[in-house]
Each structure stands twice: as structure tokens, then as C-alpha cells.
Structure 1
Amino acid sequence: MSRQAHLVWEIGAALGEGPVWVERDQALWFVDIKKRQVHRVDPESGDQQSWEAPAQVGFVLPAKGGGFIAGLQGGLHHFDPKKGTFSLLVAVEPDMPDNRLNDGVVDPVGRLWFGTMDDTERSKTGAFYCYYRGKLMRTNVANISITNGPAISPDGKMLYWVDTLGGTISACEIWGDGQLGPSQLVVRIDPSEGHPDGPTVDSEGCIWISLFAGWETRRYSPAGELLERVRFPVANITKIAFGGADLRTAFATTATHLLKPEQLDQQPLAGSVFAFSAGVTGIACPWSRTEERRRKR
């Protein structure tokens, strides 16, 4: 493959998001937030599967004990694809019914980091959280309308987070106790170029950011230098995930969300899943450790 993005699944997602390559079954999993669906596609066989979620679902990430941890609107759930069931693990922001969970990532330790946001995309009520072994912790990164990411550096020491409406990608250290250090601006993107959506980090530590209403995915160095652009035939690119047997294929989710009828006519593949050769290896997704730590007797 070249850097030319090619079609994987013409699914027409309203808000395709959260792509993740699951090595245990060699397939790409992703969600459609607005349609409340979870999807799986095997790019080799072409096999496609879908599940209905009971609420808006921002992400699904593989859990160590089997199945997935899913970020539904009101909290974290365990998702069992064999049964199609969602079981509540912990409620998140139960006093804020207008918020929902959006994007998430698992670090090398097995901690789940995720963000919340105002579902109307206006109020600055979003924040980032960490969930590990049954314990939910709110971080000091908050007061954001649309959170995206976070993404984790290869060594697990740096966390990158996105303020989509603010047009920024920031970084902060992950301290030994799981707390976050002060945030430092890495990249600022002018809104005329698109809005930074989901971030992903490759094995070289570079940040891949997809642009909603920007027609492309970009690769930045950890210092914020623009290294590469990959263009798409649709405007709303939401996030990429590295996959394939060698983790060198980048899969991208896209969205029809907020497109006007005339824009949809001009972008017949909007909402599809695409892929391109990344030219660099990604990082395998660790299993999230959602179980509570057992006490020693």
C-alpha cells in the first residue's frame, strides 16, 4: 500500500470513532457513537460484525480477563461480544447527565485513561479520568468542551490530550502514583485547517492526529514538528489505529456527523473506514486491567 487511503468498509457511520486493533483476533474494532453501535471488521477475510449498545458508546478496549471495557454515556461497562451484553463497572459523572464518555486509551501498565465531554459540544464540562483495578480517579485536566484522546508515549511516561474546540494537543508527564504533571502545549491547529480529533502515538513516539473537517491525518514529532500529511476523500477524519500482522497499517474512522446534505452528496464515502500504509510501526494495545486488586491474606 501507498500513503493513498483506500476503502475498508463503506459503513456510513454517523460518528465512527475509537478504532483499536485487537491482536487476539487480528481484527479492527470501532464504534459509532451516535448510532450506539460497536463494529468489528477482519480486513483479511472481509468479515464484518455489529452489536447494538444500550447508550452512546465512545470506545471499546480489550480487557485482560476477556471481552472489552466499553465507555458508554454514563459510565464504564464490561462488554461481552459473545453474549452482546454490557455490564456496569463504574458510573462516571452521574450528577452530569448531559455529559458522555468520548475517547480512551490503555497505557503499558493496564490503566485506562479516558475523557468526558458535553454531549451538545458547547459547555466546558469535560475532564480526563484514570481507571485501574476498580478505582476511578479524576485527573487535573478538566474544563474542556470536547476532550479527545488521550494517547500514551511508547515508554508510558507521557500522556497527550486534545482540546478539540481549542485546537490544541498538549502533553503532561504521568507520575509514579498515576497523577499527571502540568500540561505543556505541543501543537496548536488553526480552526480553518480542521479540528484535532483522536490522537495515536507510533513506536517512534510521534503523534498522529486526525482532523475533523480537515480532510487529513497528520504526523507530528513529540516536539510538535509537522512531519507528514495523509489526505482522504472525506472531510471528517476522527482517529487512526495501527493494525495488521506487523502493525504498520493505519486504519481510520470517519463521520457523517454535522455534514449538510450537499456535503454528503459530494462525499459519498463519508463515515467509511479507510486504511493506508503508515511507513512506521504502531504500538500494540495493552489489555485494560479492570478487576479490583485482591487483598493479600
Structure 2
Amino acid sequence: MNRPPAHDVAIRAAAALGEGPTWDPAAERLIWVDVLGARVHTWHPATGRRTVRTTGQHVGAAKPRAGGGLVLNLRDGVGLLDPGTDVFRWLHRERVPGRRANDAAVAPDGSLWAGTMRYDEAAGGGTLARLTGEGRVSAVLDAVAVSNGIGWSPDGRLMYYVDSPTRRVDVFDHDAEGRLTGRRPLAAVEEGAGFPDGLTVDADGCVWVALWEGGAVRRYTPAGRLDRTVPLPVRRVTACAFGGPSLTDLYVTTARTGPAAPHPLAGSVLVVPDAGTGLPQPAFAG
């Protein structure tokens, strides 16, 4: 097994539930959210400039839009921040009592795949939906528990998905129309090693998975073999994404929430320099 590279602190913070790191190449910045803090953060590594925007309700993810601005996966649906003005408007609103947004990702065709979960994490209470740039919504998966990591293979023909309580990373066949077939396990996380959470796919087609309560990020090959583990000092590791000018730095979000006394870095964004090479992430078409 490869020797894991050392990590650094990219952004020292105290996020209750840091999530969803996303590299925005047009603005050369990292976007991430504090779900329970209802905040969207941005950070420009070249200058150190940071911004924070309060959303008014829990936010599961924030992704760049093709024309500028952001698309937000929020408690009550999916909304848009317009470029320049920062004006907010709903793209799709569907409030379900007891349910909130969770992780989301943009597919190769520019559609947003937005997950939800119940606050009590009840089985069957979460969903995964696909939204086009025009706001058309179609159900992809229902009756999931904690909809989490989503990502696509370099050729777009496979989609990887995590429903955290299953302790699995699953893989589907994915076609140009956004249809999924052939769900099957790619890898399973053993008892005691945490729960799979957010994920990203690198240029070699390997799947990097953050381990909630596992204090690590793992990389699995396209065949499902574990070939790298990056240990981290924070137990509640939530998500990971490649960023930087060459997409070689792995940014990792963490959480401070929980019953135990948090590690001093819990809630910060960590970075593993030169961890590999990521894939350029498409912007939302809306």
C-alpha cells in the first residue's frame, strides 16, 4: 500500500458540519459549506481571500453555475444565486417537514444531482433527484437513508454513490440521458472504520471516499480495491475534492458536531498536497 502523503491545514475554521468542497476553476477558488451553520464559504488560495454567505436555512451543497453564480442544495429545495448581484431565487422548491438537503454533484451533462435526508436519519426518508438547467426535476432514487457522495467515472459511463448507513460505495451504469441501471457494490467499509461520506473521482478513475467517524480518506481503484489510505487527525471527515491550478491538491472538509470533545482542527478544511490528479468538474447548466 502506498505511503500516505502528509496533510496541511488549508482553512482553520470551526464549522459545525463542513461539507461539499468544490473547486471553481473559473474563479480559482474553493467553495464549501457548513451545513448546520447555514453558510457558504469561498476561499482563494492564491490570495487568501475568504467570503462567507449566510443562507437562512441548512445548506447541503453549493456548486458553480456555467454563467456565474452558484446553485444551492437547501433544506426546502434548490435555489440559485445570480452572478454579480448575488440575488437569490428558487429553481425548485419542495419543503418536506423533517427533511433537509445533503450532498450534491454536477453530472457531465451539467445537471445537478441533489440528495436529501431526514434529520433523524430514518431509513427510507432520503432521496436523490436530478435537476436540469431549466429546472426540470426527475426522481433518481427514493427510500434512501443518508444520501451522500456522488461522482462519475472519467468517461461518464459510471456513477458512484453513497448511502452512508449501508457502509458501501455503489456503482451504476450511467447513460447520456441520465438514466441509471445495474446498481452493484464497488466497495464496503468494514465495521469500526467509519461510514463512507462524500467522494470524488480522480483522472485514473479511482474513487476517493471520506470516512465519517473513520478519521481518514480512502482511495479505491475502479475494480473496488483499496489501494491508499490517508489518515487524518479529525474523526468526522465529511468530503473531499481535488483543486488548485493543476487539480493535484486534495481538499478535505471536516465536522465539529458530535458528543465527544472535538479535535482542535475539527471543522477546518484540510489539504493533502500532490495527492493525485483530479477531474475538471462541470458547472451547473442553469
TM-score normalised by the chain length of structure 2: 0.94
CA distance in 1 between counterparts of 2:182 and 2:172 reads 6
Alpha-carbon distance between aligned partners in 2 of 1:76 and 1:58, rounded to the nearest angstrom: 10
| Cα distance, 1:115 vs structure 2 | 1.1
1:177-196 aligned within 5 A: 177-196=177-196
Report how far residue 163 of structure 1 moved: 1.3
**Higher alpha-carbon deviation: 169-178 or 11-20:** 169-178
- Structure 1 position 218 matched with structure 2 position 214: no
Partner residue, 1:17? 19
Q: Cα RMSD between the aligned structures?
A: 1.5
Q: Which residue matches 1:162?
A: 162
Q: Report the Cα offset of residue 191 of structure 1.
A: 3.4
1:270 corresponds to: 266
Structure 1 contact 5–232 (Cα < 8 Å) conserved:
yes
Query: Aligned to 1:20, what secondary structure does the other structure show?
Result: strand
Give the corresponding residue for 1:72.
74
Whether the 8 Å CA contact 1:51–1:84 is kept in 2: the answer is no
Distance 1:32 1:81 in 2: 21
State the match for 2:133 in structure 1. 133
User: Residue 65 of structure 1: CA displacement?
Assistant: 2.0
Q: Is the 8 A contact 1:114 1:149 kept in 2?
A: no
Structure 1: distance between partners of 2:191 and 2:88: 37
Between 72-81 and 143-152, the greater mean CA deviation after superposition: 72-81
1:74–1:97: 8 Å Cα contact kept in structure 2? no
Cα pair 2:67 2:83 within 8 Å, conserved: no
- The structural deviation recorded for 1:133 is 2.9
Q: Secondary structure at the match of 1:87?
A: strand
CA distance in 2, matches of 1:222, 1:102: 25
Aligned to 2:285: 289
Q: CA deviation at 1:72?
A: 0.6
Contact 2:169 2:188 in 1 (8 A): yes
1:71 deviation in Å? 0.4
Q: Which amino acid aligns with 2:44?
A: D
Question: What SS does the aligned partner of 1:192 have?
Answer: coil
- Picking from 33, 36, 39, the partner of 1:34 is 36
Q: Is the 8 A contact 2:23 2:243 kept in 1?
A: yes
Alignment map for 1:25-104 (pairs within 5 Å) = 25-80=27-82, 82-92=84-94, 94=95, 96-104=96-104
What is the identity, as a one-letter code, of the residue corresponding to 2:212?
F
- Deviation, structure 1 residue 8: 1.2
Q: Equivalent residue of 1:7, what SS?
A: strand
**Letter matched to residue 99 of structure 1:** R
CA contact (8 A) 2:199 2:241 kept: no
Deviating more after overlay: 156-165 vs 2-11: 2-11
Distance 1:27 1:277 in 2: 16
The 3-state SS of whatever aligns with 2:165 is coil
Paired amino acid for 2:114: F
Residue 192 of structure 2: SS of its match in structure 1?
helix
1:81 Cα deviation after fit: 6.6
User: Do the aligned residues in 2 keep the contact of 1:78 with 1:86 (CA within 8 Å)?
Assistant: yes
How far apart in 2 are the matches of 1:208 and 1:248? 13
Aligned pairs, number: 282
User: Structure 2, unaligned stretches of length 5 or more?
Assistant: none
- Superimposed CA distance per residue, residues 253-288 of structure 1 (whole angstroms, 9 cap, x where no aligned partner): 10012142xx32xx1111101101244210111111
Q: Distance in 2 between matches of 1:81 and 1:51?
A: 14
Can you list the C-alpha shifts for 1:174-203, whole angstroms capped at 9, x where unaligned? Answer: 123322113111111123111100011001
- The answer to whether the 8 A contact 1:169-1:187 is kept is yes
1:293 aligns with none
Mark the CA change 1:209 to 1:243 in structure 2 (over 3 Å): closer, same or farther: same
Q: Which residue of 2 aligns with 1:7?
A: 9
CA contact (8 A) 1:28 1:42 kept: yes
Task: Give 1:124 shift.
Answer: 2.0
Deviation at 1:84, TM superposition (A): 4.2
> What's the counterpart of residue 202 of structure 1?
202
